[in-house]
Chains A and B, each alone.
Chain A
C-alpha cells in the first residue's frame, strides 16, 4: 500500500477542485435549503458529474463505469466535501450502487448500473429502522412469500436521497427475529411501486433523507439482491464502502472549515492584535491540524485497503471512520467557537460545516461503535 496520490489522482483532484470552484459554492447548498428543494441536490449537476466520469468511477467498464477504485473516488469526494456539495454519491454510488454491484445478479447489474453510471438512475439503500441505530441486523420490516412474489411491510428511516431514488434497495427479514444476522434479505423496490410511501425527513444538514413506509409491497423473485437470508454480510460490505467514502467527504469538509477558520484567525482583530496571535487559540489550531493529518492518513489507507481487497480492510475502515468522526466534530466545533458570535449566525457559512460534520459522525457508526468493532477485529 502506497499512501501517496498517483499522478492521475493529482490531476483528478485538480479537475474536481476547479469544478467545485466554478459550479458548487456553499451558497448553492444554502439556496437548495432555503427553497425547500424536494430532493436537496441538482440533477443537472449530477449528470454533469456523470459526464466527467466521476459517478462511474468504482464500476466496471463493461457496465458503463470507469473501472477505477475507491482511492480515486475519494479524491473527488474530498473535493466535493469542501463545499458540502449534496449530490448523491453516498446514496447512489456507494450504498445502492455497491449493493447491486456486490450482491446483484448479472441481469440486475446490467439493467441498473449503466443507468447509474450515466447519471440517469438514482438509487437508495433502506437499511435503517426506528431504533436500529448502527446495527444492520436489527430488521423488523417483513418480507413474506406469497405465491410467486414477496410482500414487504414495515418502516425504514433515514433513507438517504429516498425521495429522489428511482429504485430503493430494502433490507427485510425473511427469517429469524430481532437482531439475528441470519434471515435478512435485500430486495429491489421501485420507488413508485404500489404500497410505497415516501416522506421527507428534515435533518440538520438539509439533505434529502426520507422515511420509507412499505405496505404489502409486491416484488418478484427476480428482485432479490444476493442470497436469501444472508443479506447482513452483504450489507456490512456495502456499508464499509459507504463509510470509507463518507470519510473522504468528511476529510474535505473539515479541511475547508479549518482553512476558513485559519483565515479568520489571521484577520480578526481584538485587543489590537489578530486573534491568531493568542497562544490559547494557536495551540488549539495546531491540535486541529494534527487531527486532520491523522484523519487523512487513515482515510487514504482505508480506501486503498478496499481497492486491494485486503483482509485488513474492515479494520482500516473502522480506524478511519472513528478518526474522521471525532476529528470533524472537533474541527467544526472549534471553527464555530473561533469565529465567535458571527459563527453562530445562520448568515455565516461555517455553521453548515458543523451540521454536516455531525451528520457524518452519526452515520454508519459513530466513533465509539467503530472502536468497538476495531477491538473485536483485533481480537480483544
Chain B
C-alpha cells in the first residue's frame, strides 16, 4: 500500500510536469479523443505530443506488458494513474478499438510474432483498427456470416461484404470474421483474420444514419490476398476468439454508457427540465416529468451501484458474478431511456433538425437521441443479451 502511495505521488508529479496545459479539460468524450492511425487527425499539436510522451512511457496501454509497448502496471497502479489523470483533467492519450478490442484479444489468443508485430503499433497510435463482424445477412445470427476465405498457397483470398464497420474509412487494419470452411457446421468454419486495409481489393463506403451522421461504413473485399500468418488462433477456430472479443466489446460499451449513468449525466436531465419547464430552482413544476426523471436517475444509481458491487467483488478476489452479464443490456437501455426523456421534456423545441429557431444544445440532444436508438442494436442486440442471460446465467434450456 505504501508503494502504491509512492506511485501516486510520483505519477502525479510526472503528469504535472509533462501534461501539456493546452489539453487540460479537452477531449472529454471518446468521439473527440485521439484515435491515431496512418491518417490521424490530431485536435492540436499538443494532443500529438501528449500521445507521443505517454506512449514513450507505455501509458497508452498501462496494464499491457512492457515488451509489447505497454506500461506493465498492476491493475491497482493503473487505477491510480487514471485517478490522477482525472484529477488533473488530462484526457486519455489514445482511444480506439486497438486498445479496447483487438489488443486484449491478441494478448489472449495471438502468437508471439503477432503480438510483437501489432501491439507496439497500437500502443504508439500508429495503426488504427476497425471491426469486421456483421454482414447484411448476418446480424444477430453472426455465425451465419458468408464472407469467403479460400486458401491459395500461403494466403487466404477473401471476398465478401462487411457492414457496420465503425470508422472503417479512417482505419488502417481490420480484424474480420471470414468463412474458411463452407462445409463445416456454421460456428466451426469461421476464421479470425487480420487484414491490412491498404491491400488491393478492399473498399469502404460510409453509411448515413437517422441522426444524419455516423461512424459506420460498409466494407467490401474483392479477392483480397491475406497471408496465413494473419490468422489469430486456429484456422477455422475463429468463433472462440470472436466470442472472447465480443466480451471485451460489451464491457467497453457498458463502460461508455454506464459511465454516463454515474454522476453528472443524470443532472443533465434536471438541467434540461429546468430550462424547458421554466423552473430555475425548487421542485420541478410538472409532477409527471419529475417522476420520470426521478425514475431514470434512480435506475442510473442502482446500475452504478451494481457496477461498483461487481468491482468490489473483483477486488475481494471473487470471480465475476452473474450481474456482469446484464451490464451491456442495462447500460444501453438506460442511455436510450434518458435520451427519450430529454427530447420529451424539450417538447416541440426538441424537434429541430438544424437552423434557426432552435438552440444548439437542443439540436445536439435531438441528434444524440436518434443516435442512441442504435445502442440496443450494436454490439449484440438487447434481445441477444437477454438470450445470453437466460442461457448462461439462468440455465434455461434451448
Our pick among B302, B323, B391 for the contact of A298 (Cβ within 8 Å) is B302
Contact yes or no, B397 A289, CB < 8 A: no
Q: Does B129 contact A (CB under 8 A)?
A: no
What is the count of residue pairs linking A and B with beta-carbon distances less than 8 angstroms? 120
Our pick among B291, B302, B318 for the contact of A319 (Cβ within 8 Å) is B302
Q: Does B194 contact A (CB under 8 A)?
A: no
In chain A, positions 290-308 with a C-beta closer than 8 Å to chain B are 290, 293-298, 300-301
Q: Indicate with 1 or 0, residue by residue over B271-312, a CB within 8 angstroms of chain A CB atoms.
A: 001100000000110000011011101110111011011001
* Number of chain B residues whose Cβ lies closer than 8 Å to a Cβ of chain A: 43
Contact yes or no, B387 A319, CB < 8 A: no
For residue B396, which residues in chain A have a CB less than 8 angstroms away from its CB?
262, 265-266, 276-277, 281-282, 285
Smallest CB gap from B329: residue in A: A290
Q: Does B386 contact A (CB under 8 A)?
A: yes
Contact yes or no, A283 B302, CB < 8 A: no
In chain B, positions 371-398 with a C-beta closer than 8 Å to chain A are 383, 385-387, 389-391, 393-398
Our pick among A301, A374, A376 for the contact of B298 (Cβ within 8 Å) is A374
Q: Does A8 contact B (CB under 8 A)?
A: no
Contact yes or no, A297 B390, CB < 8 A: no
Q: What is the minimal beta-carbon distance from A106 to any residue of chain B, in angstroms?
A: 37
Smallest CB gap from B323: residue in A: A293
Q: Does B68 contact A (CB under 8 A)?
A: no
For residue B182, which residues in chain A have a CB less than 8 angstroms away from its CB?
none
Contact yes or no, A290 B309, CB < 8 A: no
Given contacts A266-B397, A277-B397, A380-B284, contact A293 B301 (CB under 8 A): no
For residue B20, which residues in chain A have a CB less than 8 angstroms away from its CB?
none
Contact yes or no, B306 A371, CB < 8 A: no
Q: Does B43 contact A (CB under 8 A)?
A: no
For residue B313, which residues in chain A have a CB less than 8 angstroms away from its CB?
3-4
For residue B387, which residues in chain A have a CB less than 8 angstroms away from its CB?
279, 282-283, 286
Contact yes or no, B397 A371, CB < 8 A: no
Contact yes or no, B318 A4, CB < 8 A: yes
Our pick among A283, A287, A371 for the contact of B294 (Cβ within 8 Å) is A371
Contact yes or no, A380 B322, CB < 8 A: no
For residue B295, which residues in chain A have a CB less than 8 angstroms away from its CB?
371
Q: Indicate with 1 or 0, residue by residue over A369-380, a CB within 8 angstroms of chain B CB atoms.
A: 001101110111
Q: Does B316 contact A (CB under 8 A)?
A: yes
Contact yes or no, B309 A4, CB < 8 A: yes
Smallest CB gap from A368: residue in B: B291
Given contacts A279-B387, A374-B294, contact A294 B302 (CB under 8 A): yes
Given contacts A300-B309, A380-B273, contact A293 B326 (CB under 8 A): yes
For residue A293, which residues in chain B have a CB less than 8 angstroms away from its CB?
306, 322-323, 326
Contact yes or no, B306 A294, CB < 8 A: yes
Q: What is the minimal beta-carbon distance from B307 to any residue of chain A, in angstroms?
A: 8
Query: In the complex the two chains form, what is the Cα distance from A3 to B308 in whole Å?
Result: 7
Given contacts A277-B398, A374-B298, contact A282 B309 (CB under 8 A): no
For residue A378, which residues in chain B have a CB less than 8 angstroms away from its CB?
270, 294, 297
Query: Would you list the 5 A-B pairs with minimal beta carbon distance, nearest first?
Result: A282-B390, A297-B305, A3-B309, A371-B294, A286-B389
